[in-house]
């Protein structure tokens, strides 16, 4: 039984065709994935269905009847609801007010509160209607959006990249809710580029590339690799590296303890490890176990006593970031916009900010703009950063492109030690492969690389040794070769001592 | 010294009314996410138009209606410039103030008033005869009570009505409001028009009741005080009354002290209300401003 049929949807913007002759069907109670790289036309497609964009050509049928919403209200009235990628919430307002704003005819405040309670219990999404949205976590905010949609009994629920801000536990809760909804007959259109999730959740998938449908299949019967190649349109190469030749120790961390600068952060407790030249060390762990604090302590944002961190036998624990950069330790934090890069500044300015010391981009205290620009252009060219110009603001770049820029900026400085947190978080498959290859190349050239990642497949793929971070303590590093997911799971669970006892 | 505290308090309400009217209008504008610094300009155009309309028709209430319309028309200029041509709100607001000052001066060149035109004081049975409270609270003209009714109305509108909820949503996060299908520009244009009408009423109250005559620059910075009081009130309607009455109170007090011939230079006394407002603004911690305040919006994303 078909719910929504898309027939030949085409939408062109000046200079770019966002959707070209897109056709596929969504059945009732089906969880249907739309896969695609950044810029493949996924957003335009869902905006068309939700009435924010009108197609140039083509038509849609909802339950067999022509469906051409002129604005989101008419789409909602027809039974289409949408959970946005960047939440469309109002921070200063309560949960109930936020939900009322997304409804055509909201009931009285008291009744609405009751309905919210009921929906949150039915679908396993704990939420209190009186709380102010600004105080909620990312996962709770998404619940507000979902319940706002559910209270209108939608026939079709559109989820646009819903998991990019969620913890693994929150993803599990969300998937449970979506499966329950589908079993009750609600169709779900699930937009994502995360293959793992689509395989776990969806029965049907449509792949978009450059605005066109390039395939429709059952994701449970496709390998990740085949799906990724279909998205990218070319054969992906697994990152390769030259033979590992581990050299002398470059970075020695011993007994590193530091309180977290954040109220709800995790303090570092007695962390010790050694990083050798030519080596990639992976540190895994569930988010919030001290990753941010560890990066801050290594980059110099948190100062410790000098002898806790030795770079080539020189104590640097009390130095700030610029002093460490001068000595050869560069770092790239997790948050691209606002931490690794200043969102409103140009790529040239962003390049200058971390590279000024090592590449001497300052002349007598004045900025050497020609050389800074040349450096930014070199990063853009070598790391295939897609940007109109080096003068473009960092925030205007897609996540993958900005990540390539941020990492390329550090790599071109030729650091002795590179510390990097979540190198491929929220980055599409092609960019992720390029970033991983660049990290391996840096190690092959004799530098040491520390990769902190929650993506365990990534850790297995590119690291030589692996250690688990758990509530601020670090396990012994073990060789990655021969590690299985099960063993890593045990290490992450804090049971590494047991493992050692067995071995 | 013999300042009569009852008369002082009664005069306080009259002195505060123009600021309160202008401030409540600006509060609605700012809650919709628009910063209109042209309050002073809209006020003074309202003052001259209200004066002319009132005196030529012989009916002061006709003057108030004319002033509200004039204020709204001037604010429409601001609305078109900032909402459709996306000009900078701060610069446009400042421009509007200077434009209003000049325009009012031009319109008012030949304005003639008749001495007979007065705005009647109301009298409430029983209430007006209560000793002390009667003269302070219950013997004012209609506009004093109307200003309080508008404040109460705005409070109820923002708190309870769906339109008020949408207006706050637009001021909090215009991108999200747009994504949900609300017409951000339409909401803002209506808010700006309301702000203009209120500023017009405020101006007319000065030229028809408080002074009452037309002179160039008659508003004397009251529009700026209204802007400050909106921040002072943390964008909450009821607190506006406290802010406006504080300023009005100090104004009346210093006028009385001047009349008493206190041995302080007049200039210092004239400064007092502004100084008091600044001091209070510095001392209190202002609440959270609407998150989209002053940011340009174009419905293209």
Residue B69 has pLDDT above 80, yes or no: yes
Are B180 and A51 inside 8 Å of each other by CB?
no
User: For the segment B142-188, what is each residue's pLDDT rounded down to a tens digit?
Assistant: 999 999 999 999 999 999 999 999 999 999 999 889 888 899 999 99
Structural domain harbouring B161: 5-111+138-283
pLDDT of B295 higher than 70? yes
> Is A52–B179 a contact, with Cβ atoms under 8 angstroms apart?
yes
- Res B63 pLDDT > 90: yes
Tell me, what's the pLDDT at B24? 97
Q: How far is B180 from chain A (nearest CA, A)?
A: 6
Residue A239 has pLDDT above 60, yes or no: yes
- pLDDT, tens digit, for every residue of A172-216? 888 988 999 999 999 999 988 777 788 888 889 999 888 899 888
Residue A501's pLDDT band (boundaries 50, 70, 90)?
very low
Q: How far is A57 from chain B (nearest CA, A)?
A: 20
Looking at chain B, the whole-number percentage of residues with pLDDT higher than 70 is 98
Chain B residues in contact with A71 by the CB 8 A cut-off are 181
Cβ-based contacts of B288 with chain A (< 8 Å): 92
Is pLDDT larger for residue A251 or for residue A17? A251
pLDDT at B270: 86
The domain total for chain B is 1
**Residues of each domain in chain A carrying CATH 3.40.50.300:** 2-232, 249-502
Cα of B3 to nearest chain A Cα, Å: 46
Q: What is the mean pLDDT of residues A324-351?
A: 90
Going by pLDDT thresholds of 50, 70 and 90, the confidence category of residue A503 is very low
Q: Looking at A253-320, list the stretches that DSSP marks H as alpha helix, in order from N- to C-terminal side.
A: 291-299
**pLDDT at residue A494 is higher than 70:** no
Mean pLDDT confidence for B231-250: 89
Mean pLDDT of all residues belonging to chain B: 91
All residues at 6 or more sequence positions from B9 whose CB lies less than 8 Å from its CB, including other chains: B136
Task: Kindly provide the ipTM of the predicted complex, given to two decimals.
Answer: 0.82
Contact between chains at B180 and A90 (C-beta distance less than 8 A): no
Q: Is the model's pLDDT at B91 over the cut of 80?
A: yes
CA distance A468 to A472: 10
CA distance A405 to A105: 47
Q: What is the pLDDT of residue A86?
A: 66
Q: To which residue do tokens 């080539």 refer?
A: A312
Q: Is A408 on the interface with B (CB under 8 A)?
A: no
Contact B175 A88 (CB under 8 A): yes
On whether residue B131 sits in a domain, the answer given is: no
Higher pLDDT, B162 or A430: B162
Please give the backbone phi and psi of residue B77, each rounded to the nearest 5 degrees, phi first. Answer: -60, -45
Chain A neighbors of B177, CB-CB under 8 A? 88, 90, 101
Residue B201 has pLDDT above 60, yes or no: yes
Q: From the CA of A89, how many Å to the nearest CA of chain B?
A: 6
Per-residue confidence band for A250, with pLDDT thresholds at 50, 70 and 90: very high
Of A474, B149, A197, the C-alpha closest to B140 is B149
* Reported confidence tier of residue A73, pLDDT bands at 50, 70, 90: confident
A92/B288 Cβ within 8 A: yes
Of A393-397, A496-500, B125-129, B233-237, the one with minimum mean pLDDT is A496-500
CB A124 within 8 A of CB A172: no
CA-based nearest distance B208→chain A, Å: 40
What does the alpha-carbon distance between residue B78 and residue B187 come to, in Å, rounded to a whole number?
A: 14
Residues in chain A within 8 Å Cβ distance of B166? 101
Closest CA to A332 of A467, A427, A203: A427
- Is A84's CB within 8 Å of B179's CB? yes
Q: Which of A412-426, B54-68, B196-210 has the lowest mean pLDDT?
A: A412-426
Coil vs helix vs strand at A315: strand
Mean pLDDT of chain A: 86
| Residue B32 located in a structural domain | yes
Report whether pLDDT(B301) > 60.
no
**Would you say residue B38 lies in a domain?**
yes
Q: Decide which of A461 and B88 is more confident.
A: B88
CATH class of A249-502: alpha beta
Which tens digits make up the pLDDT trace of A6-30?
A: 999 999 887 778 898 999 999 999 9
> Domain for residue B288, yes or no?
no
Instruction: Tell me the mean pLDDT in the region A359-379.
Output: 92
| Interchain proximity B168–A51, CB inside 8 Å | no
Domain at A2-232: CATH architecture: 3-Layer(aba) Sandwich (3.40)
A72 touches chain B (CB under 8 A): yes
B96: domain CATH number is 1.10.3470
Q: What is the DSSP string of B158-178?
A: HHH-HHHHHHHHHHH-HHHHH
**Torsion-angle region of A364 (φ positive above 0: left; ψ -120 to 50: alpha; else: beta):** left
User: Worst-scoring range by mean pLDDT, A21-25, A237-241, A472-476?
Assistant: A237-241
A87 interfacial to chain B (CB closer than 8 Å): yes
Q: How far apart are CA B11 and CA B216, in angstroms?
A: 23
Q: Please say if the pLDDT value at position A502 is more than 50.
A: no
Q: Residue A44 in 3-state DSSP? A: helix
A346, HSE (Cβ side, Cα atoms, 13 Å): 14
Q: Are B166 and B6 in contact (CB under 8 A)?
A: no
For residue B94, what pLDDT is reported? 97
- Count H helices and E strands in chain A, helices first: 17, 23
Whether the per-residue pLDDT at A375 is higher than 80: the answer is yes
Asked if A90 and B288 come within 8 Å (Cβ–Cβ), the reply is no
Retrieve residue A280's tokens.
């990639």
Chain B residues within 8 A of A88 when measuring between CB atoms: 173, 175-177, 179-180
Task: Transcribe A220-273 into DSSP letters.
Answer: GGS-HHHHHHHHHTSPPPPP--PPP---SEEEEEEEEEE--SSTT---EEEEEE
């Amino acid at each position: 039984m078909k719910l929504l049929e898309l027939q030949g949807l085409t939408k062109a913007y000046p200079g770019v065709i966002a959707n070209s002759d897109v056709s596929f069907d969504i059945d009732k109670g089906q969880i249907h994935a739309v896969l695609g790289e950044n810029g493949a036309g996924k957003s335009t497609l869902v905006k068309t269905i939700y009435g924010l964009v009108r197609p140039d050509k083509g038509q849609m049928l909802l339950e067999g009847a022509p469906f051409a919403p002129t604005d989101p209200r008419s789409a909602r009235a027809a039974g289409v609801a949408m959970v946005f990628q960047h939440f469309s919430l109002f921070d200063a307002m309560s949960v109930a007010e936020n939900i009322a704003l997304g409804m055509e005819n909201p009931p009285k405040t008291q009744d609405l509160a009751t309905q919210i309670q009921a929906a949150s219990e039915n679908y396993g999404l704990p939420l209190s209607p009186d709380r102010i949205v600004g105080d909620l976590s990312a996962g709770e905010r998404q619940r507000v959006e979902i319940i706002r949609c559910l209270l209108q009994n939608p026939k079709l629920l559109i989820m646009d990249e819903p998991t990019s801000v969620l913890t693994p536990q929150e993803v599990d809760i969300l998937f449970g809710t979506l499966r329950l909804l589908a079993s009750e007959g609600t169709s779900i259109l699930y937009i994502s580029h995360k293959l793992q999730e689509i395989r776990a959740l969806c029965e049907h998938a449509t792949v978009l590339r450059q605005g066109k449908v390039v395939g429709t299949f059952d994701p449970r019967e496709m390998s990740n690799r085949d799906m990724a190649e279909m998205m990218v349109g070319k054969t992906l190469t697994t990152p390769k590296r030259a033979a590992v030749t581990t050299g002398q120790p470059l970075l020695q961390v011993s007994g590193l303890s530091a309180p977290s600068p954040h109220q709800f952060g995790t303090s570092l407790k007695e962390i010790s490890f050694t990083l050798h030249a030519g080596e990639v060390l992976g540190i895994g762990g569930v988010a919030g176990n001290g990753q941010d604090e560890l990066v801050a302590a290594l980059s110099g944002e948190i100062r410790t006593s000098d002898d806790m961190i030795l770079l080539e036998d020189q104590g640097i624990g009390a130095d700030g970031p610029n002093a460490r950069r001068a000595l050869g330790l560069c770092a790239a934090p997790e948050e691209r916009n606002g931490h690794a890069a200043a969102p409103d500044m140009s790529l040239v300015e962003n390049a200058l900010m971390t590279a000024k010391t090592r590449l001497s981009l300052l002349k007598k205290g004045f900025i050497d703009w020609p050389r800074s620009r040349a450096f930014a252009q070199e990063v853009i060219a070598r790391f295939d950063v897609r940007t109109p110009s080096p003068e473009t603001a960092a925030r205007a770049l897609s996540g993958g492109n900005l990540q390539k820029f941020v990492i390329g900026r550090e790599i071109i400085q030729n650091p002795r030690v590179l510390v990097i947190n979540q190198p491929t978080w929220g980055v599409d498959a092609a960019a992720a492969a390029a970033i991983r290859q660049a990290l391996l190349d840096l190690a092959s050239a004799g530098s040491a690389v520390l990769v902190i990642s929650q993506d365990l497949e990534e850790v297995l793929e590119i690291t030589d040794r692996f250690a688990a971070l758990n509530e601020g303590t670090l396990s012994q590093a073990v060789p990655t070769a021969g590690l299985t997911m099960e063993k890593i799971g045990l290490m992450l669970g804090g049971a590494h001592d047991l493992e050692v006892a067995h071995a | 010294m013999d300042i009569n505290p009852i008369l002082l308090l009664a005069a306080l309400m009259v002195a505060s009314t123009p600021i309160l009217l202008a401030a409540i209008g600006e509060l609605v504008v700012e809650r919709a996410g628009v910063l209109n610094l042209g309050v002073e300009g809209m006020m003074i155009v309202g003052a001259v138009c209200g004066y002319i309309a009132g005196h030529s028709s012989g009916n002061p209430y006709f003057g108030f209606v004319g002033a509200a319309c004039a204020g709204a028309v001037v604010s429409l200029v601001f609305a078109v410039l900032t909402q459709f041509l996306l000009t900078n709100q701060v610069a446009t607001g400042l421009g509007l103030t200077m434009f209003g000052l000049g325009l009012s001066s031009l319109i008012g060149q030949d304005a003639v008033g008749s001495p007979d035109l007065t705005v009647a004081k109301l009298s409430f049975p029983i209430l007006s005869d209560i000793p002390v409270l009667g003269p302070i609270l219950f013997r004012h003209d209609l506009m004093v009570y109307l200003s309080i009714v508008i404040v109460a109305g705005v409070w109820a509108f923002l708190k309870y009505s769906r339109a008020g909820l949408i207006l706050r949503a637009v001021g909090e996060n215009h991108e999200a409001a747009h994504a949900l299908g609300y017409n951000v520009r339409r909401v803002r244009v209506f808010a700006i028009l309301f702000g203009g009408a209120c500023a017009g009423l405020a101006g007319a109250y000065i030229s028809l009741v408080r002074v009452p005559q037309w002179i160039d620059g008659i508003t004397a910075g009251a529009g700026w005080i209204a802007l400050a009081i909106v921040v002072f009130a943390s964008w909450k309607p009821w607190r506006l009354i406290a802010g406006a009455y504080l300023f009005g109170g100090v104004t009346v007090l210093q006028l009385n002290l001047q009349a008493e011939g206190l041995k302080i230079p007049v200039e210092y006394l004239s400064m007092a209300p502004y100084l008091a407002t600044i001091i209070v603004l510095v001392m209190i911690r202002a609440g959270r401003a609407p998150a989209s305040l002053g940011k340009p919006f174009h419905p293209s994303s």
